[in-house]
């Protein structure tokens, strides 16, 4: 397993878009001197590993990836992006469609010298939940910029078909109870309660990044309602059968939990997953973590990091489209 670099502290940086909006990201750096840490068991393929860009889900921030980023920075350069409207990125009135979010990510990559538009190497994109859909959209928009794709419990499913297509209803369902928002202590206690064993300084920092505290003591989500509604609308409009066939890079699909045998909706999702696995034109690998919840970065960071390391090795050995 790849040990975390507990001493690492990422740089907090922003990239301006053509519209003037700023996208924030955490730069976790990479191996000291540019050489992978041999104690981290890097994939031994004798080729440079591509850089890695990490994308969070709805309502989360770049800090949600910290447990994985601390491990993989031993192997390659790692960035974690705050999607538009989330974290420290700007939250304009519009621009939450998947192509716009994908262009934000691609612009961050170009600013770091990656992809054909920067005459640099392609990167591996890893997205969690909604972020997986953004990663797919980026790979479909600019295939030569993406050397590999990781869909972490998302990106393969037509959520609009399974959850309904009313963004307002989904936003309502995502709302936090008032008692959870009454104070920072209540908020952190609620997040800690999901899994006390995995709660640490990174988890607290990730939780704090999701909210801001008001003078009265209560907290409110950093993600404003218009940005949440725009992101949810984009999630519900995502059609994997339209974009996954455009992906020719190696794909890693990571699934949390297992379907209950008597759950009809879960069986339908399994059928949809089976269909989705046949859509990309590149190689696809499926990995399941039956006992883990949706936030795999928190619950199984070492195992997830190892799978991503394997994808980095595979992506580094495959000639990327457009190169």
- Residue 17's pLDDT is 96
Q: 299 is written with which tokens?
A: 């619950």
What was the pLDDT predicted at 47? 72
- Bridge partners, 13 (sequence order): 25
pLDDT at 298: 98
The lowest-confidence range among 93-97, 284-288, 317-321 is: 317-321
CA–CA dist 309, 301 (Å, integer)? 12
b/e map 209-241, b = 16+ CB within 10 Å? bbbeeeeeeebebbbeeebbbbbbbbbbebebe
Q: What percent of the chain has pLDDT over 70?
A: 92
* Of 75 and 261, the one with more pLDDT: 75
Domain boundaries, the chain: 11-166+225-317
pLDDT in tens, 9-44: 999 999 999 999 999 999 999 997 666 665 555 554
**pLDDT tens column, 87-101:** 999 999 999 999 999
Per-residue pLDDT at 323 = 43
For residues 70-74, give the mean pLDDT: 98
Q: Per-residue pLDDT for 213 more than 50?
A: yes
What class has domain 11-166+225-317? alpha beta
Average pLDDT over residues 118-126: 98
Mean pLDDT of the chain: 93
Alpha helices for the chain (secondary structure H): 66-72, 98-111, 130-141, 159-163, 167-174, 184-193, 201-209, 225-237, 240-243, 264-277, 296-299, 301-317
Mean pLDDT of 129-147: 98
Residue 141 has a pLDDT of: 97
For residues 148 and 44, give the distance between their C-alpha atoms in angstroms, rounded to a whole number: 17
pLDDT at 132: 98
> What is the per-residue pLDDT across 217-268, written as a single tens digit (0 to 9) for each?
999 999 999 999 999 999 999 999 999 999 999 999 999 987 777 777 778 8
Read off the pLDDT of residues 47-65 as tens digits, 9 standing for 90 and up.
Answer: 789 999 999 999 999 999 9
| pLDDT value of residue 321 | 45
How far apart (Å, rounded) are the C-alpha atoms in residues 121 and 26?
20
**Token reading at 157:** 């499913």
How high is the pLDDT of residue 20? 94
């Amino acid at each position: 397993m790849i040990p975390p670099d507990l001493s690492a502290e990422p740089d907090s940086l922003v990239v301006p878009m053509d519209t003037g909006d700023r996208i924030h990201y955490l730069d976790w750096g990479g191996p000291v001197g540019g050489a992978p840490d041999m104690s981290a068991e890097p994939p031994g393929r004798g080729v440079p590993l591509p850089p890695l860009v990490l994308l969070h889900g709805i309502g989360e921030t770049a800090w949600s990836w910290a447990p994985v980023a601390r491990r993989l920075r031993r192997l390659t350069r790692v960035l974690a992006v705050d999607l538009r409207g989330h974290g420290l990125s700007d939250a304009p009135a519009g621009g939450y469609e998947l192509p716009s979010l994908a262009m934000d990510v691609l612009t961050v990559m170009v600013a770091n010298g990656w992809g054909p538009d920067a005459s640099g190497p392609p990167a591996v994109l890893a997205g969690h939940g909604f972020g997986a859909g953004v990663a797919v959209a980026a790979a479909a928009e600019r295939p030569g910029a993406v050397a590999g794709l990781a869909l972490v419990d998302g990106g393969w499913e037509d959520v609009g078909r399974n959850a309904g297509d009313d963004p307002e209803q989904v936003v309502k369902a995502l709302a936090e109870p008032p008692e959870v928002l009454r104070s920072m202590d209540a908020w952190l206690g609620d997040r800690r309660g999901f899994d006390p064993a995995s709660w640490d300084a990174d988890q607290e920092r990730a939780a704090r990044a999701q909210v801001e505290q008001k003078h009265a003591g209560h907290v409110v989500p950093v993600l404003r309602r218009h940005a949440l509604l725009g992101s949810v609308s984009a999630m519900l409009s995502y059609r994997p059968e339209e974009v996954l066939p455009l992906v020719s890079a190696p794909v890693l699909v990571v699934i949390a939990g297992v379907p209950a045998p008597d759950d009809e909706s879960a069986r339908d999702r399994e059928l949809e997953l089976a269909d989705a696995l046949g859509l990309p034109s590149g190689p696809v690998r499926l990995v399941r973590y039956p006992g883990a919840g949706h936030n795999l970065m928190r619950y199984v960071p070492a195992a997830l990091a190892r799978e991503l390391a394997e994808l980095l090795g595979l992506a580094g050995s495959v000639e990327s489209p457009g190169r």
